[in-house]
Amino acid sequence: MRATLPDDIRHVFELQRQASRAQPDTPLTLRRERLLRLSKLIDEHGPALAAAVQADFGMRSPRLTEVADLFMLRAQLAHTLRHLARWCRRTRVRTPLFLLPARGWIERQPLGVVGVISPWNYPVQLALAPVIDALAAGNRVMLKPSELTPHTAAQLASLVAQFFAPDEFCVVQGDAATAALVASLPFDHLVFTGSTAVGRKVAQAAAANLTPTTLELGGKSPAIIDTDCDLREAALKIVHGKLLNAGQTCIAPDYVMLPRGSEAAFAEAYRAAVARLFPYFEGNPDYAAIVSPRHLARLRTMLQQAQTLGAELQVLQPVPGSPAPPPQGIGDGVGRQMAPVLVFGATPAMQLMQEEIFGPVLPALSYERLDDAIAHINAGPRPLALYWFGRGEAARDDVLRRTVSGGVCVNDTLLHVAHDNLPFGGVGDSGWGAYHGEAGFLRFSHQKSVLAQSRWAQGHLLYPPYGARFDRVMALLRRLV
């Protein structure tokens, strides 16, 4: 990866800032044309982007990148292009009786220049999804991808430079120091996706410029199994949500809460579901590698500590007769394809219950009553996602009413993020601000209030000097409000 020089970053930022000030509004036709260019980039170069992701992970199927990165972007682009004209229209609002015959409306204008600092786990989708919303809202964009996926970052930088002028949309490359520099620039809005710890630093850097931020962070997203749940169906969906990208997903179920007495049945259902989706791990192109040796070592350290403190680890094994691991030379990620692990007996003292796991490790906690599960969730930071599995609407609504999370998926995992009309975002430690669909368009727009006074206005009746006439007018207004 070739790092972008600090002076070049500042120069291109200034180009974008000057362009945004020279053209405060962006015509609908230009917004659509930019989105169509981005769509063409993805359609023509999707295989190259998937190959770059595979090179970064060492083992991650292009089909996984297609469904989790490229298809998500294609769907978002189609939805945005379909609704963009309506989103761009001025919004008329009802005028209070005492202000008539004035009229009021809201103009949706671009903010200006939007910065995006994106993560490594879905390095195409989480880089370009906020870019789509920002371009739709008429902004200029600077993207800084993660240094942990350097092939993808370089591919994005090369392709974006082919399809966009630097003052429209550019990609800068570099390490954490580059990200810190980007976060310190006086953007009109800054988007960061990553860990809560780094999100705090980004928010502090942005605050120096009064730059508003959207922080998409993580956290310990729970899955609650209710007593009337079909364990086999729930386990299959939890396995899919947990093991997609080998658990390296910000909205992956971080732990599961089981009715006491169902632990053995759930473990059996979980093992069966893993065998169905991933009959083997090493050399399986559908099962992603952990992104780096450092991240793998962290997961192993978590498990060692949990076992030392008394937890029971159930390491899932390949289905007998599965293919043997290929030679190491096929992909350097084969050795980082970590077998899934179920953990029973986890306690708050363990690292895996204190930090977001971000890997194929699933602690299973037991509860006596649903109240206990809710109390456990509410005792910690608010999660990015919550998953509930059951049949009773009353129990479902009880969980929805008594917990706060960024989003909820009922009787499934992950799929709420694919719903174009549902805002996606966190709350509290899991982030703030939401995008996707119209919510994303509005996130990157300035909603400018406009009141147009009529020539028949009678506002002068409230001007000083105050006296008996003023008192009569105010008495009338009090009856009208």
Active-site option among 216, 282, 356, 438: 216
Residue 457 per-residue DSSP state: -
What whole-number distance in Å separates Cα of residue 127 and Cα of residue 123? 6
85's CB contacts (< 8 A; 6+ apart) are 28
User: Would you say 113 and 26 are in contact if contact means Cβ atoms under 8 Å apart?
Assistant: no
2's CB contacts (< 8 A; 6+ apart) are 154, 173
Both tokens of residue 18?
């000057």
User: Would you say 172 and 4 are in contact if contact means Cβ atoms under 8 Å apart?
Assistant: yes
What whole-number distance in Å separates Cα of residue 225 and Cα of residue 241? 14
Q: Where are the alpha helices (DSSP H) in 321-365?
A: none
Q: Is 456 exposed, middle or buried (0-12, 13-18, 19+ CB in 10 A)?
A: exposed
CB environment 54-93: b (16+ within 10 A), e (fewer): bbbbbbbbbebbbebbbebbeebbebbbebbeebbeeeee
What whole-number distance in Å separates Cα of residue 178 and Cα of residue 217? 20
Positive/negative CA dihedral, 163, 36, 245, 114: positive
Report the phi/psi class of residue 437: left, alpha or beta, with left for phi > 0 and alpha for psi in -120 to 50.
Answer: left
216 is annotated as an active-site residue: yes
CB environment 16-38: b (16+ within 10 A), e (fewer): bbebbeeeeebeeeebbebbebb
Both tokens of residue 469?
């006439």
Tokens 């992701």 correspond to 53
Residues marked as catalytic: 216
